[in-house]
Structure 1
Amino acid sequence: MVSTLSLPLVVALFVLAAGVVAVCGVRMTGLADQLGDRTGLGEAVVGGVLLGLATSLSGTVVSITAALDDRPALAFANGVGGIAAQTAFLALADLLFRRVNMEHAAADLSSVVQAALLCLLLSLPLLAITGPEVALWGIHPVSPVLAVVYVLGVRATAKVREAPMWRPVATRDTRVDAPETAQAGSAGIGALLARFAVLALAMGLAGWVISKTGGRLSDAVGVSETAVGALLTAVTTSLPELITTLAAVRRGALQLAVGGIIGGNCFDVLFLTASDVAYRPGSLYHAIDSDAVFWLVVGLAMTAVLLLGLIVRERRGIAGIGFESVGILGLYALAVTVQTVR
């Protein structure tokens, strides 16, 4: 259907879908913060799991739809490109939080565990790509392993939250996740979850539109699917993460901001599992080009720098932010430059 539309109309649909994603992302932030307080799970866990999953829904639909349309490079690049973009968003939020380096103030062991989990998840597709081309019913063994590791990692994060074996040193700049008390007449957990689900459904539909129009733009403009996936659809479907991160920082929910980005990135790795299942000709990992692998390595490097920042907790560095934010922005700028000049 989209293939028959004129290019201006395709662009208009793309922009409209991006707007839906952005608006829903704003509304989800407040709901996630309330759910973290009402359930007692805290901002880092709810941000990393519930908010991360929901804001990634549109990107999931993009990757699955692209794989079904026999566009493996677009499906893969959309997932790993989104991880790089969202990590860069966290560094941008650090620039706006002028009081102190945000990773210092948002100290939370759950975020450290999730960042380490993300490094592990990103290394598994590299093993699949560089290993022998094997597939069972068209699915590479690494794809289900990714899902299992993700579930085990989420359980470990919750366990760390309940019974931490060590805690970050508190300083005058450390922001503590203090639950808000429920006000009289405020919505219950069930109502909050229902609103959250409606917004997530709208974002999923918008993701389908973005995938269809993104593929059409790649064909019409003559740009590679990897470039479209890493720099267009990935950034567009990552708008909720940008907006929710900035909104969370403005609300003072720093653990929610950091946890939402890292948790969303962990879930985004599962785009590859879903895409591999949807891509029927064979293993997705052996149907992509070197540009897509490049973005996977970029995401891994940016996450490693972030993890170092979460552990070191530098108060201030260049431009009033930590070394990790400077490194993350530098890596992303370099990656975008390399992609555009190829």
Structure 2
Amino acid sequence: MLQEFFHSFPTWALLLSIVVSILILGVSADKMVDGAASLARYTGLSPLVIGATIISLGTTMPEMVVSVFAAFYGDSSLALGNGVGSIIADTALIMGLLVLCGRVVLERRSISNVSWWRDLSASALVLAAFLFPQNILPRWFGFILLALLVVFLLQTYFQQVHIKQQEGSSIALNEAASGSGGHSLEDGDESEQLSLARSLLYLLAGLALVVGSSRVLLPQVQLFALRLGVSKDIIATTLVAFGTSLPELTTALAAIRKKKEALGVGNIMGADILNALFVVGAATATNPIRVEPAFFRIHFPVMLFVLWTLRLVFLGQLRKREGRNRNQWTIPKWYGLFLLIVYASYILLQYLGGVKHI
């Protein structure tokens, strides 16, 4: 019914309506993040862990809802492409901007667990897609991914609790000395001033708007791809993935402005994990997903490339440090520029080879 409604729109109006839907997604998810961040202050977790768990759950909600709706209606390319494309956008575009414009110094003990979960969950997804018969991800595999998500969240939480028990009050001093910030998102930050009732209202109202705008976005994207003659996997991994990654982008820009880069990096890495386990997992549990050949040709290789090169940069930085400083990882600014070049090349190559007519 919605697709019939948008069918009467001229192409420019259809594109405008897609942009509006994406903006509503971003704003509603942003309010949802405010509510989640306000609730997070009661947990006592570090900024990086808060970003990788609670805030990432909020910022990946648009991707999850869009992919679940797409899977429900049998649109495998959009369901999988949104998750994979969001990982690429988060890591190559948003991480690139964060590294290039900010100063990213990370605690090794906090980032190690999250980074391994990120790299291995995405790699396991690619391996499964390659090994399953006819490259179809079955529903039971989706439930396995969701179970792994629960394991990740619990393991990350209890690891942080263990660190706090070991070091006690010295954690606050260490974080202040390393520039990673305290346990709040920001003194005077709006999210810190929300009451419990208002935090819950933001969380629930944001979730409702995310679901509604995602439901409207799906038929718009399908019709737009049909008119341009562009395959759905390209639209999903570029336009839709960028749109649903707007919460991560706004969080990263706020982290740069407030000198809380660790929170931004945690959000990006957590979002990568949740895109593999939560977004793709929920979509696959809804309906089996067929992995199209284009994913093996370009989307999966680019995703794995941007993920694993970051680990190589971490290792390279550690080799340059001695003694106490070996407990910190610094991401050099040249790597931020490198990521942006990779993302621009990825987008350009797809549209140069994928647009049949306009």
Report the TM-score, using the length of structure 2 for normalisation: 0.80
* Paired-residue identity, %: 22
User: Which one of 204, 212, 216 corresponds to residue 211 of structure 2?
Assistant: 204
Number of aligned residue pairs: 325
Q: Secondary structure at the match of 1:163?
A: helix
Partner of 1:11: 15
Equivalent residue runs for 1:22-33 within 5 Å: 22-33=26-37
CA-CA distance at 1:301 after TM superposition = 2.2
The residue type equivalent to 2:340 in the other structure is: L
Partner of 1:177: 182
Matched, 1:143 2:142: yes
Conserved in 1, the CA contact under 8 Å of 2:56 and 2:267? yes
Equivalent residue runs for 1:1-342 within 5 Å: 1-4=1-4, 5=6, 6-7=9-10, 8-87=12-91, 88-97=93-102, 100=103, 102=104, 104=105, 106-107=106-107, 109-133=109-133, 139-164=138-163, 174-179=179-184, 186-269=193-276, 270-279=278-287, 283-284=288-289, 287-293=290-296, 294-310=298-314, 312=317, 315=330, 317=332, 321=333, 323=335, 325-342=336-353
Q: Which moved more, 1:26-35 or 1:198-207?
A: 26-35
Conserved in 1, the CA contact under 8 Å of 2:63 and 2:244? yes
CA-CA distance at 1:60 after TM superposition = 1.3
CA-CA distance at 1:66 after TM superposition = 1.7
* Distance in 2 between residues matched to 1:259 and 1:67, nearest whole Å: 28
Conserved in 1, the CA contact under 8 Å of 2:38 and 2:193? no
Q: Which moved more, 1:198-207 or 1:5-14?
A: 5-14
CA-CA distance at 1:181 after TM superposition = 7.3
The residue type equivalent to 2:306 in the other structure is: M
CA-CA distance at 1:195 after TM superposition = 1.6
* Distance in 1 between residues matched to 2:121 and 2:330, nearest whole Å: 29
Q: Are the structure 2 counterparts of residues 272 and 27 from structure 1 closer, same or farther at C-alpha, using a change threshold of 3 Å?
A: closer
CA-CA distance at 1:268 after TM superposition = 1.2
Report the TM-score, using the length of structure 1 for normalisation: 0.83
- Write out per-residue CA displacement over residues 154-213 of structure 1, whole angstroms, 9 at most, x where no aligned residue: 22211221223999x979663233436799x95443531332221122122222222221
Aligned-CA RMSD value: 3.1
* Distance in 1 between residues matched to 2:85 and 2:159, nearest whole Å: 29
* Distance in 1 between residues matched to 2:188 and 2:350, nearest whole Å: 48
Conserved in 1, the CA contact under 8 Å of 2:314 and 2:330? no
**Structure 2: 5+ residue stretches without partners:** 318-327, 354-358
Partner of 2:320: none
Q: Are the structure 2 counterparts of residues 297 and 155 from structure 1 closer, same or farther at C-alpha, using a change threshold of 3 Å?
A: farther
Conserved in 2, the CA contact under 8 Å of 1:81 and 1:229? yes
Conserved in 2, the CA contact under 8 Å of 1:59 and 1:238? yes
* Distance in 1 between residues matched to 2:107 and 2:314, nearest whole Å: 7
CA-CA distance at 1:17 after TM superposition = 1.1
The residue type equivalent to 1:333 in the other structure is: A
Conserved in 1, the CA contact under 8 Å of 2:314 and 2:331? no
The residue type equivalent to 1:62 in the other structure is: V
* Distance in 1 between residues matched to 2:86 and 2:212, nearest whole Å: 18
**Structure 1: 5+ residue stretches without partners:** none
Q: Are the structure 2 counterparts of residues 339 and 188 from structure 1 closer, same or farther at C-alpha, using a change threshold of 3 Å?
A: same
Q: Which moved more, 1:331-340 or 1:121-130?
A: 331-340
The residue type equivalent to 2:209 in the other structure is: A
Q: Are the structure 2 counterparts of residues 123 and 135 from structure 1 closer, same or farther at C-alpha, using a change threshold of 3 Å?
A: closer
